[in-house]
Chain A
Amino acid sequence: MHRRTLDAEFAGFVREHRVDLVRTARLLSSGDPHRAEDLVQTALVRAYTAWSRVRNSDHPVAYVRRSIVNAHIDESRRPWWRRERSVALPPDTSVTTADDDLGEAVRSALASLPPKMRAVIVLRHWLDLSVEQTADWLGCTQGTVKSQNAKAVAKLRHLLTPEGQTTR
């Protein structure tokens, strides 16, 4: 198949799935749009490079999502990466609404989780992966996934439950 045809097909894939991929990346990066964009771009470049193979896999979207998760974990092992970065343009000013107070609180709570624990939460609760799939993606045991998930859920509920209310 010619590169031009593959390009057109890849472009169609991006058009269809990019917004969803960015959502997943944003959750992994605790709402940071720039870091999320980095993760998505990294994953899409990998997918493009292997597109003739990825397109024939059972779940091309899963391939890219998994690449995003891998990039997220890899990046979290490089602490220097986030210290300071120059960008061409100043960041977009976010639109703040009353509802976004909760959104900001959730993003802060997610940011308080270690990267791998955050990944467990995103894979299990946002992407609805099974414990087995999550363990496979993260390269850990199912027991680790269960314990990390339990700790993360407890911490999120603790941080996001208004004082005076009990959590269930």
Chain B
Amino acid sequence: MNDIKRLLAEALNEESTPMTVDPSEDVARGHRHLARRRTALVSGVAAVALLVGGGGVLIASTVAGDDGGSTRTDPAVLRQTGAPAAEDSVGPAQPRTPQVVLVAYTGKQPKGYKVAQVPEGWVIQGGTESSLVIAPEDAKDKDPNSFADKIAVLSTSSDTPPESLRDGTPTPVGGVTGYYRADAGGGTQILTYQDATSGRWVDVQIPPSLHWDAERIAEFAAGVTVVGGAGDSHG
């Protein structure tokens, strides 16, 4: 075996191998790719930018209910809606907002997924073989390829290291165990679980504006089923 390794070393022609590395181009390529796909982390950063920059209006527009989106600070309301302060990852100065409730989804089912419940006042913007996007009905951004401040359900890449799929706090999702991360970047919450029907691993990304806790996210996820041909999220 050693002689083969020696031969492979000969094939490398190290004189033409650059030995100094400038990672900025790889980072820039990653940025561009994310910008095109509008993936989770970009949406998280954008959501935080909106929230920090006076995004209370955005919260108000996305929170359904009789309060008209007003921000409540009554701890009793928070207990009732199940939003623990520890998971309010937006920051200590952020006004507390009740969670948006789930309602039965009765509209047309999207491609690739079957959805049982959506947040009240939210609609399915689009579904592909690799992603499902749900957004506030009055969202200005109607692009289903943009995930900023929306719910995104993504089939995980086949390249994903198996051990990393279980990265997070074990959380029951229907009959299986999911793994919850309270802040995967910019306040975006992610619940990863294996869809019982298809066997595919799925990421459910929740924007901070929903103020959901892990239990509510799991309740939503339990109502999502991967169907016919939902595929890899990496292009």
Known contacts A44-B29, A66-B159, A103-B10, A52 near B185 by CB under 8 Å:
yes
Does any Cβ of A come within 8 Å of B234's Cβ?
Answer: yes
Does any Cβ of A come within 8 Å of B4's Cβ?
Answer: yes
Q: Out of B11, B164, B234, name the residue touching A110 (CB < 8 Å).
A: B11
B162-178 CB mask vs A (1 if < 8 Å, else 0) is 01100100000000000
Stretch at the interface among A3-11, A79-87, A140-148: A3-11
Does any Cβ of A come within 8 Å of B34's Cβ?
Answer: yes
Contact B7 A27 (CB under 8 A): no
Give bound CA distance, A57 to B165, whole Å: 9
B44, chain A: closest CB distance, angstroms: 8
Please, how many residues of chain A have a CB less than 8 angstroms from a CB on the other chain?
Answer: 59
Chain B 134-177 residues near chain A, CB threshold 8 A: 157-161, 163-164, 167
Contact B13 A31 (CB under 8 A): yes
Chain A 51-79 residues near chain B, CB threshold 8 A: 51-54, 56-59, 62-63, 66-67, 70
Does any Cβ of B come within 8 Å of A117's Cβ?
Answer: no
Q: Which residues of A contact B12 (CB under 8 A)?
A: 23, 26-27, 31, 103
Q: Report the contact-size class of chain B (Cβ under 8 Å from the partner).
A: 35 or more
Nearest chain-B residue to A58 (Cβ)?
B163
Q: Which residues of B contact A99 (CB under 8 A)?
A: 10
Give bound CA distance, A92 to B7, whole Å: 23
Tally A-B pairs: CB < 8 A: 145
Contact A18 B21 (CB under 8 A): yes
Chain A 25-39 residues near chain B, CB threshold 8 A: 26-27, 30-31, 33
Q: Which residues of A contact B34 (CB under 8 A)?
A: 48-49
Q: Which residues of B contact A33 (CB under 8 A)?
A: 16-17
Contact B30 A45 (CB under 8 A): yes
Q: Which residues of A contact B17 (CB under 8 A)?
A: 19, 22-23, 26, 33
Known contacts A33-B16, A53-B164, A103-B10, A14 near B157 by CB under 8 Å:
no
Give bound CA distance, A53 to B154, whole Å: 14
Q: Out of A18, A45, A52, A66, name the residue touching B33 (CB < 8 Å).
A: A45
Does any Cβ of A come within 8 Å of B41's Cβ?
Answer: yes
B32-54 CB mask vs A (1 if < 8 Å, else 0) is 01100101011011000000000
Q: Which residues of B contact A53 (CB under 8 A)?
A: 160-161, 164, 167
Nearest chain-B residue to A110 (Cβ)?
B11
Nearest chain-A residue to B19 (Cβ)?
A19
- Residues of B whose CB lies within 8 Å of any CB of A are 1, 4-5, 7-8, 10-13, 15-19, 21, 23-24, 26-27, 29-30, 33-34, 37, 39, 41-42, 44-45, 157-161, 163-164, 167, 183-186, 234
